[in-house]
Amino acid sequence: MEYQSIYQLLNVVTAANANKTAYQYKRAGQWQNVTWSENAATCKAISKSLLALGVQKGDRVAVLSQTRLEWVQCDLGIINAGGVTVGVYPTNLAADCAYVINHCEAELVFVENSTQLAKLLSVRKEISRVRHLVVFEGESDAQNGVLSWQDFLQKGSVVYDAAFEERAAATKWDDLAMLVYTSGTTGIPKGVMLTHGNMLFTTKSVTASLYLEPYFVTLLFLPMAHVFARLLVYFSMSNGMTVAFAESIEKVPDNLKEIRPHFIASVPRIFEKIYTKVTSSVQDAGGVKAKLFNWALHTGYQVSALQQKKQSIPAGLKLKHGLANKLVLSKIQAAFGGRLVWAVSGAAPLNKSIAEFFHACGILIIEGLGMTENTSFTNVNRYDNNKFGTVGPLGPGIEMKLGDDGEIFYRGPNVMKGYFKEPEATAETIDKDGWQATGDIGEVDADGFLRITDRKKDLIITAGGKNIAPQRIERVLRTSRYISQAMAFGDRKKYVTALVTLNPEHVGPWAKAHGIEFKNMEELARHPQVLALINAEIEEKNKELASFESVKQIRIVPKDFSIDAGELTPSLKIKRKVVTERYRNLLEEMYANAD
C-alpha cells in the first residue's frame, strides 16, 4: 500500500496488529510490553495535548532525551498533529541545545529528566521563544513554564477527537515531518528537512532490501536524535515488528541476552569494542583455550569463505564446523542473544576484517550506507547477497552516479527537501536536476556493489602526492586492544602520523603486570614503557596498510576525545579541525626533523 502520511501508516499498522507488542521497555527490573493499540492511544493523547497548547501545523517541537518509548511516541504525536519533530542530542552542552532550539524556532520542548531540564533552565532566557518545557520524569514548575508528563497529557482532554483527526488527516506526503540536525565534523550543524514522503519511501526501500519477518524483535540503543535510529523505528513499524529499548549503552550486553533480538542496527564502534573484548580475552587465556578458539575460528573462516562464494560446504567441513560451533562459536552468538539473524552497520565505515571475523563466528554484519541528507539510506548488502568491505547495491527506487573524481551522487524520494533556512547550502548540495552530492568517493564493481574508498573533505594528500583515507588507517589502529581512539594526520606532509588514546581496560592491567606504578591514565600516557608498547602495536598494525599509508610516528593523548570537550560529534565522529588545533604542538613535533 502507498501511504500518503505517517499518520496513515500508523493507523493501518495498528488496525492490523492491535493486540501485538509494538514496544518493550524496562522499568523496576521488569520488561513491560506496549501493544500497537495502546501505543496509538498514547500518540493520539500527545497530539491532542499539543493542539490544546496551541501547536499549529508546521510548528517545530523539540525532544531532548535519551532513546526511550516516550521519544518515539512524542515523535509520532508531533508529526500526526501536523508538527515537525526536532531531535536534540542529550549529550549536547547547554549552549549547543540552545542553538538548535533557537535555530529551528521550537514552540515546545520535551525533556527527559532533571539533568536535561537543568541544561535548558540554565539558558532559559536564551530560549525564551519556547512556551512550554514538558519533562518525562519530574514535576511541573509554572514559573519556568515546565509541565510534568502527566499534567501535559491531561491538557488534551479538552480537545475533541474530531479536531485531532482533522489535523492528522490533513498531513500529506510533501509536508515537513522532521528536522534532523547534522552533527558535522566542522562548522555549525545544519537542520536537514525530511518530509513524510522521505521517510515513507525510504522505509519501503529498506523493507525491500532486508530480510524481515513480522515476528522479528530488535533492540534499539542508537540515539533517536540521529536519523539512523529513526529509520529503524519506522521500518520496524511498517512491518509490525517489535522494538525493545535498551536501558542504556552500558546495559546493552545484558539487554541483548534478555531480549534476544533477531536483528540489530549499530555503528561500527560497538562491533569494534566487542571484537577487541573477544580477541583480548582469548589472548589472555592462552594455552588450550586459545588453541581451541583459534581452531574453531579457522574452521569458521573456511565456512564463511565458501558461503561468500555461494558454494556448498563439504560434509567433512560441515561436521567440523558443527563441533566448532557447539564448543566455541555458539558462545559468541549467545552474547548477542543467540537468535540474531543479521546485524546492520552504518553511519561510518566498518573494518572489513571485523566483518569477516564475526561472520566466521556465525554473526552476519551487513554494511550499508546513508546520510542524514538522504534519510539515512541509499545502499545496503543483502542477507543472501553480500560482499564484505562494500556497502552493497542500491535500494529500490534510488539512483546513483559517480562524478569525474569518483564522488558519489544520489537522486530519489529519499533525498531531503533541503537545509532549514539555508537555501545557499541546499543549492551547493542538491543540483538543479535533483542529484545530491555526498562528499564520499567510491567505486562500483561489476555486480553493482559500492565500495567507499575515501572521504572527499577528509582526504590526506601527502607531500608525495599520495591520496590517503584517514578513516581506513584509524579503523586498523583501533583493532589493537591497547588503543581506544586514533586520528591520522599528514595532509601535505611527507608521511602519516597519528594521535592515539589508551584503552584503560587493557593498558591498566598490562602496566600492573609489568610493575608500573601509576595513579591515572595521564601518567601512563607519558610512561616510556607504555610508549614502547603502543609503538610495537603500531608497527604490527602497519602490516595491514600500504607503505604510503603506514604510520611513521605517534603521540599518545592523555585522555579519550569526547563530545563534552568538543572533539567528537554526537555520532562519535572526530572533529578533525578541533583535534588538530588542540594538539597542534604534538602533531608538528612529529615533523620537526622531517627534512
| pLDDT (tens digit per residue) in 75-130 | 999 999 999 999 999 988 898 899 999 999 999 999 999 999 999 999 999 999 99
Q: Which tens digit of pLDDT belongs to each residue from 395-409? A: 999 999 999 889 999
What would the pLDDT profile of 437-485 be if each residue is shown by its tens digit?
Answer: 998 889 999 999 999 887 777 777 776 666 677 888 998 999 898 999 9
Q: How confident is the model at residue 184 (pLDDT cuts 50, 70, 90)?
A: low
> What does the pLDDT average to over 499-509?
92
Break the chain into its structural domains and give their ranges.
6-171+210-249, 266-338+340-453, 460-589
Give 349's pLDDT tier (boundaries 50, 70, 90).
Answer: confident
Other CB atoms within 10 A of residue 23 CB: 23
The residues that bridge with 167 in the sheet, in sequence order, are none
* Domain 266-338+340-453 and domain 460-589 have a common topology: no
| Residue 465 confidence (pLDDT) | 66
Q: Which helix (H) or strand (E) holds 109?
A: strand 106-111
Q: Is the pLDDT of residue 186 over 60?
A: no
> In this structure, which topology does domain 460-589 adopt according to CATH?
GMP Synthetase; Chain A, domain 3 (3.30.300)
Q: What is the pLDDT of residue 562?
A: 87
User: What value, to the nearest 5°, has the Cα angle with vertex 120 and ends 117 and 125?
Assistant: 140
Query: DSSP labels for 405-417?
Result: T-EEEEESTTS-S
Helix (H, G, I), strand (E, B) or coil at 346: coil
Q: How many residues does the chain have?
A: 595
Q: Phi/psi class of residue 27: alpha, beta or left (left: φ > 0; alpha: ψ in -120 to 50)? A: beta
Angle at 483 between CA 182 and CA 591, to 5 degrees: 85
Split at pLDDT 50, 70, 90, the class of 279 is confident
What kind and span of H or E run contains 85? strand 84-88
Say if residue 291's pLDDT is above 80: yes
Q: Are 370 and 199 in contact (CB under 8 A)?
A: no
pLDDT value at 157 more than 70: yes
Pick the CATH number of 266-338+340-453 from 3.30.930.20, 3.30.420.40, 3.40.50.12780, 3.40.50.720: 3.40.50.12780
Q: Give strand pairing partners of 565.
A: none
Nearest CA among 538, 574, 533 for reference residue 553: 538
DSSP category for residue 425: H
- The whole-number average pLDDT for the span 210-227 is 95
Region of poorest pLDDT, from 24-28, 264-268, 399-403: 264-268
Cα 288 to the center of its chain, rounded Å: 38
pLDDT at 594: 64
State the chain's mean pLDDT as an integer: 92
Return the pLDDT at 595: 52
pLDDT tier at 187, thresholds 50, 70, 90 = low
Over residues 410-424, the pLDDT tens digits come to: 999 999 999 999 999
Q: Residues 6 or more apart from 15 whose CB is under 8 A from it?
A: none
Q: How far is CA 413 from CA 194, 199, 587, in A?
A: 10, 9, 44
Return the minimum-mean-pLDDT range out of 184-193, 493-502, 557-566.
184-193
Structural contact between residues 177 and 3, judged by C-beta atoms closer than 8 angstroms: no
pLDDT of residue 160: 96
pLDDT of 386 reads 93
Helix (H, G, I), strand (E, B) or coil at 311: coil
Q: Does 524 score more than 80 pLDDT?
A: yes
Tell me the pLDDT band of 283, cut-offs 50, 70 and 90: confident
Task: Look at residue 185 and tell me whether its pLDDT is greater than 70.
Answer: no
Provide mean pLDDT across the span 280-288: 85
Q: Please say whether the beta carbons of 159 and 52 come within 8 A.
A: yes
Assess if CATH 3.40.50.12780 describes domain 6-171+210-249: yes
Distance CA 440, CA 431 (A): 16
List b or e across 98-117, with b for residues whose CB sees 16 or more CB atoms inside 10 angstroms.
bbbbebbebbbbbbbeeebb
In 92-148, which residue ranges form alpha helices assigned H by DSSP? 94-103, 114-122
Residue 298's pLDDT band, with cuts at 50, 70 and 90, is very high
Query: Rounded to whole angstroms, how far apart are CA atoms 414 and 441?
Result: 20
